[in-house]
Amino acid sequence: MQSKKTPYLALVEMASRAKTQAAGLPGRQEVKPYWSGVGFSLLGHRFVAPMDDVAELLEVPQHTFIPGVQPWVRGVANVRGRLLPLFDLAAFFGGHLRGTRQQRRVLVIERGKVYAGLIVDELHGMQHLALEYADHAPGDLMEPFAPMVNGQFKLQQDRWLVFDMHALLNDFQFMDVAVH
């Protein structure tokens, strides 16, 4: 006469079979720390701005010209009921926007009382850059960008300059938009 298995013994047997048929866990991989930012092009250079510094990304909205302002101030746009001043970042640095109008984008900055849109040549979306490629002193960087760059990431063929929005917003020349 065969003895009946108890539920406990059936579970032990099932667990034993599962262990013998189970695949092994994958090998342990080293996790590399990454830094994330919003990538954009300006005057032939690739930049990346910290995610926390960019509140929103927009296509260049219709805007109204404002008389009596610096040439890099493009005007003001109504964005969901708020007036957004638009700044041509290339013109601020002494150049001209490149590419087509369809490629240009606006990086919206909202910090304290400052609400501003920075028009750039092209947007490259979110960039996840390995910290092992970070270089905190891009010594070969020429004016006019140097005061606004806070490091770089050097990849094989690409160089991403870390754009310091705080430095831009603290720049007296940038914030002094009235023509004197």
From first to last of its 180 residues, the chain has per-residue pLDDT tens of: 556 778 888 788 888 888 777 776 666 777 789 999 999 999 999 999 999 999 999 999 999 999 999 999 999 999 999 999 999 999 999 999 998 899 999 999 999 899 999 999 999 999 999 998 888 776 666 678 888 998 899 887 888 999 999 999 999 999 999 987
Residue type, 171: D
Tokens linked to 174: 């940038």
What is the Cβ-side half-sphere exposure of residue 147, based on CA atoms within 13 angstroms?
11
Beta carbons within 8 Å of 135's beta carbon, 6+ residues apart: 151, 152, 153, 154
